[in-house]
Amino acid sequence: MTSGSQVLVRPARNVRGSVVLPGDKSISHRYAMLAGVASGLSRLENYSTGADCASTLACMRALGAGWEQKENVIEVQGSGLSLAAPTRALDCGNSGSTMRMLSGIVAAQNFTSEMVGDESLSRRPMERVIKPLTAMGAQISSQQGKPPLRITGAQLKAIDYKIPVASAQVKSCLLFAGLFADGETRIEEPLRTRDHGEVALRAFGAQLERKSLGAGSEVRIRGGQSLRGVEARIPGDLSSAAFFLCAAALFPESQLAIPHLLMNPTRARLLDVLMQMGLRISVTQLDQVNGEMVGSLQIQGGELKGITIAGADSAALIDEIPVLAAIAPYTEQGIEVRDAKELRVKESDRIAAVATNLRRMGATVDEREDGLRIPGQQALHGAEIDSFSDHRIAMAFAIAALRADGETLIQGAEAAAISHPAFFQALEEVAER
């Protein structure tokens, strides 16, 4: 099935079975970073197997936080709030989360760190963290706002900061920095984004205050609090589940089970949207683990109606839009995406990547600066797809391929390993032919 970096995906007639997903990527990054600056041992079960989360662990080791893998558990020996000066550049690989969130921690250390990334990460905007961290007292140089970053840490001062563009990575970066700062840091976000940073800080023993502010929110954290290690089982990644949920949505007879999945309300908008589109989803064994909701899903196919994603939904569904857009031609009324300009500065320009690949499969697509309009009731044919070295594009088009006429060749399929190394095997297991 896999040859080098290409994967051939054949059409399916149904999706059936059960999928176990890697630990949530957003939570894994945050736990690894906080475990590194906590005191004592943390045990992180079901830590994401994705290459991005391995980048975070490698950076933490370079900063003196030792860890060991024991079967499905990563044991991190916390260093307390002071890390060790790295002897070489911190390699964040493809991971924007690693660079942006870890910059909030290294900005508070009494040494200089260099943070580098791969070609894709080297093109991504970092001013969003450089500006507020500089205002807190760190010295940061960059290549016109892009990586590599050279960060000279300082005793930070608290900040009162309104984040201009909704970003959970920026929010977490500043909360992490705020933990080390003198005084109380207050962060305001224009739209509510995923709250794993806040939930994780509490799980590690920090106190913070949160309040809704219209469609957004405010978080306050006092500096100088110490963290203690945790025992955690990381729930399955909801953004990885999105590919399988969309696969199930393609066939009325689908029957899929997904155990132990993250159900955090700031991430679960996808489930509402898919139910509005006609997928039947029931949740059992709902539970809370270290402040995060977890549940098991039973999914049944149904109709496949169209939808419009705009405003706060675009921020809430930012990682799931590529796969929703990739199945849009098969919906009854099509899908329109607006207010999603951030997609242009992800691992690839995801608006352009989706439009290019859908057209290769024969679809009509209207590409716009901040989104896409994709008419429904279109038949697609198999084609050669380019992942643009972006995991979510590779996986989104493997899903679109399931209902196409003929085979689809995904070039650059290895990108899937960034978040879900076993993706293609897992898909083969549930795709009935």
Joined tokens for residue 333: 């009324």
Q: How far is the CB of 29 from ligand S3P (least distance, A)?
A: 6
Which of 250, 318, 321, 413 binds ligand S3P (CB under 6 A)? It is 318
Among 169, 185, 290, 411, binds ligand S3P (CB under 6 A): 169
Instruction: Exactly one of 195, 237, 313, 319 is catalytic; name it.
Output: 319
* Preceding omega of 148 cis (within 30 degrees of 0): yes
Query: Which parts of 145-291 are beta strand (E)?
Result: 146-152, 160-162, 184-189, 208-213, 216-222, 231-233, 255-262, 280-289
Identify the residue among 14, 46, 103, 167 touching ligand S3P (CB under 6 A).
Answer: 167
- Find all residues with CB under 8 Å of 152, minimum gap 6, and list them: 111, 112, 138, 139, 140
Instruction: Note whether 97 binds ligand S3P by CB under 6 A.
Output: yes
Cβ atoms 347, 389 nearer than 8 A: yes
Strand order in the sheet with 2-3: 2-3, 6-9, 408-411, 384-386
Asked whether the beta carbons of 318 and 340 are under 8 A apart, the reply is yes
Cα–Cα distance for residue pair 149/141, rounded to 1 Å: 6
The piece of 15-23, 66-74, 164-172, 402-410 that touches ligand S3P (CB under 6 A) is: 164-172
Residue 199 as a binder of ligand S3P (CB under 6 A): the answer is no
Cβ 56 vs Cβ 199: under 8 Å: no
**Position 391 contacts ligand S3P (CB under 6 A):** no
Residues near 277 by beta carbon (within 8 Å), at least 6 away in sequence: 249, 303, 304, 305, 306, 307, 331
- Interacting residue with ligand S3P among 54, 168, 293, 307 (CB under 6 A): 168
Of the ranges 105-113, 161-169, 258-266, 279-287, which one interacts with ligand S3P (CB under 6 A)?
A: 161-169
- Regarding 237 and contact with ligand S3P (CB under 6 A), the answer is no
Question: 189, 198, 319, 390: which one contacts ligand S3P (CB under 6 A)?
Answer: 319
Least distance (Å) between residue 318 CB and ligand S3P: 5
Q: Could you tell me how many helices (H) and strands (E) the chain has, helices first? A: 13, 25
Establish whether 319 is a catalytic residue: yes
Q: Which is nearer to ligand S3P, 16 or 346 (CB)?
A: 346
Residue 220 is a binding residue for ligand S3P (CB under 6 A): no
Binding positions for ligand S3P, 332-351, rule CB under 6 A: 342
For residue 372, what are its two tokens? 């896409």
Nearer to ligand S3P, 52 or 414 (CB): 52
Looking at the Cβ atoms of 163 and 304, the one nearer to ligand S3P is 163
Q: Decide if residue 174 touches ligand S3P (CB under 6 A).
A: no
| Residues forming the site for ligand S3P (CB under 6 A) | 26, 97, 167-169, 172, 194, 318-319, 342
Residues designated catalytic: 319
